[in-house]
Amino acid sequence: MSEIAEGALRIEGLHKYFGKLEVLKGIDLAVAEHEVVCLIGASGSGKSTLLRCINLLEPVNAGRVLVHGEEITARGVDVNRIRRHIGIVFQAFNLFPHMSVLRNVTLAPTEALGLSKRDAEVLATDLLGRFGLADKKDEFPDRLSGGQQQRVAIVRALAMKPDIMLLDEVTSALDPELVSGVLDVIRELAESGMTMVIATHEMGFARDIANRVCFLDAGQILEEGTPEEIFTAPKEPRTQQFLQSILEAGRM
Amino acid sequence: MWLGGDPRLPEADRSSKILGPMRAEGAKGVAIAVVSTLVVFSLLLLVVVRSENWPAVRQAFFNGEEFRRSFPDIARKFGRNIEFFLIAEVFILALALVLAVMRSLPGSVFFPLRLMSIIYTDLFRGVPTILVVYLLGFGVPSLALPGVPSDAAFWAVVALILSYSAYVAEVYRAGIESVHPSQVAAARSLGLSRWQSLRFVVIPQAVRRVIPPLLNDFIGLQKDTALTAFVVAVPEAFKQAQIFQNADFNFTPLLAAALMFLLITVPMTRFVDWLVERERRKRQAGAAL
């Protein structure tokens, strides 16, 4: 079994319950190396939970998640080691408010990867510069705009040099005028070949950036295909309905 | 959890500062306040001093000569109270943090540790501090165990540490629980271990939030160093005052000791008030962004 055949990420029959509520009802999804997969669907359809399961922030009840062929949901797997290779960015940024931007970025590389402080700072400064945050490195998070905070959160995840990035509605908490800056950063990541799974409400963006779009409905992937297929000729009535409602809300 | 003031209350109800309402009226307001204060306090003083029993009260409680005689000794012995306080505080801050962390550990594996922490806090918060001081201060030295200190003062300080750790652990715990779970999620998602998340992300934020209530417990501890008076051989300020009181049949030395405590606790209290106020303003500024 070669690693290339395995792809970057494979999810098999994933079930997740919160108490008696089944939020993921058997998800199967394979993501190839350098592929960008967008998850769309109404709030509560399971997009966020799916991302959190991939990162092992939520234990799964049934099914498997494989990263480069390794079953990360197996018993006895060192979750800290796994998470170092999977970056996740949250809707609410979740920056550490008591640390400067630079320390936010260097914390995990120094403590989890064992990088020296100097190496971590070089890495962080370089990344912050690349994303237009060079002059913000000594600021504290609450002095930054939402868009800047979210870019810092992306940089913080990237500083771990992850193989896969998971983005959980990263623009949903932002004022409209700040959204494009963050989307540009993600576009740049996609162009650099980062493997990504993105939960998003930005349909125009998903259409632009995704190699593949999955429509989640009530904990299942109801329909998947190229952006072209999903956005111009959706087959399932639920998908059509969802896209229609998005269109009416002027979000397309 | 107490974080200094209830954020739900409207602004007017929270401005409890003495000088608050006066500022708005400017210089005229200050003048009026000074005059009215002088009048009220002078009247009160006059009523007290001119009352029939004042000479007797003065003789027993506000005796200038007695004060001059006892105060220097009491002030010197107060150094011991400060020493007890400082030693106890260091151990309290450390032990309480361990207790709070033990109690916040998740999962069934750590149930025994959680249980231990809960039993400890219940026990020492539920028992009067003076009782613990008595029990250890008299009890342990009476055992005359080899290799165990037999100094009552040592055990009195241990008693203060045990008792106050329970309170301070609860303060820490409130702080730890106030850190949003998304902070832990962010830390863990970066590959930091549970312990690293606690150390770098949760505890620093928790401690910052509970500094005002922690300082309140400092003040309580500073006062409660007087409890050691009941067991120690070498007197601290309160016991020294009692010695004077017993010898001279006069209560002025006790007031002299009280004065020493006030000299420390009042500035500390004002400092805490100032910290709470500053914290509140910072939060509001943050919310306004």
A165 DSSP assignment: E
* Percentage of residues of chain A with pLDDT beyond 90: 82
Between chains, do A94 and B201 touch, taking CB under 8 Å as contact? no
Res B18: pLDDT = 59
Domains of chain B in start order, with CATH, are: 79-235 (1.10.3720.10)
Judge whether B170 and B125 are in contact, CB under 8 Å.
yes
**Per-residue pLDDT reduced to its tens digit, B100-151:** 999 988 888 899 999 999 999 999 999 999 999 999 999 888 888 888 888 8
Res A21: pLDDT = 93
> Of residues B7 and B168, which shows the higher confidence score?
B168
Res A3: pLDDT = 42
**Per-residue pLDDT reduced to its tens digit, A79-114:** 999 999 999 999 999 999 999 999 999 999 999 999
Res B27: pLDDT = 83
**pLDDT of A177 above 90:** no
Residue B212 pLDDT class (50, 70, 90 cuts): confident
Count CB atoms within 10 A of the CB of residue A39.
29
Question: Which of A94, A98, A112 is opposite residue B191, by nearest beta carbon?
Answer: A112
CB of B200 within 8 Å of any CB in chain A?
Answer: yes
Res B26: pLDDT = 79
Each as own residue / partner, the long-range contacts of residues B91-94 (CB below 8 Å, 24 or more positions apart, any chain) are: B91/B161, B91/B165, B92/B160, B92/B161, B92/B164, B92/B165, B92/B168, B92/B221, B93/B168, B93/B214
Calculate the average pLDDT of chain B.
86
Average pLDDT over residues A154-168: 95
* Percentage of residues of chain B with pLDDT beyond 70: 89
Report helix angle B129-143 to B152-178, nearest 10. 140
Between the alpha carbon of residue B94 and those of residues A228, B22, B87, B166, the distances in Å are 61, 42, 12, 12
**pLDDT of A251 above 70:** no
Average pLDDT over residues B20-36: 78
The pairing of beta strand A9-18 with beta strand A21-31: antiparallel
CB of B284 within 8 Å of any CB in chain A?
Answer: no
**pLDDT of B9 above 50:** no
**pLDDT of B284 above 90:** no
Question: Which of A81, A83, A87 is opposite residue B188, by nearest beta carbon?
Answer: A83
Res B15: pLDDT = 46
Whose tokens are 């510069």? That residue is A129
Whose tokens are 């830390």? That residue is B187
Res B22: pLDDT = 57
Judge whether B157 and B88 are in contact, CB under 8 Å.
yes
Count CB atoms within 10 A of the CB of residue B125.
15
Res B197: pLDDT = 95
Between chains, do A57 and B192 touch, taking CB under 8 Å as contact? no
Question: Which of B193, B200, B205 is opposite residue A107, by nearest beta carbon?
Answer: B200
Res B248: pLDDT = 85
How big, in percent rounded to 5, are the helix, strand and coil portions of chain A? 40, 25, 35
Residue B2 pLDDT class (50, 70, 90 cuts): very low
B209 Cα to chain A: minimum distance (Å): 11
CB-based burial label for B45 (10 Å; 0-12, 13-18, 19+): exposed
CA dihedral defined by B207, B212, B218, B224, rounded to 10 degrees? -130
Res A231: pLDDT = 92
CB of B185 within 8 Å of any CB in chain A?
Answer: yes
**Per-residue pLDDT reduced to its tens digit, B219-243:** 999 999 999 998 888 888 999 998 9
Res B19: pLDDT = 58
DSSP bridge pairs for A10: A30, A66
Dihedral sign, Cα of residue A141, residue A111, residue B170, residue B140: negative
Q: For residues B137 and B4, what is the distance between their CA atoms, to the nearest angstrom?
A: 35
Res B23: pLDDT = 58
Q: Which amino acid is at A127?
A: L
| Closest among B171, B166, B182 to B121, alpha carbons compared | B166
Q: For residues A197 and A14, what is the distance between their CA atoms, to the nearest angstrom?
A: 16
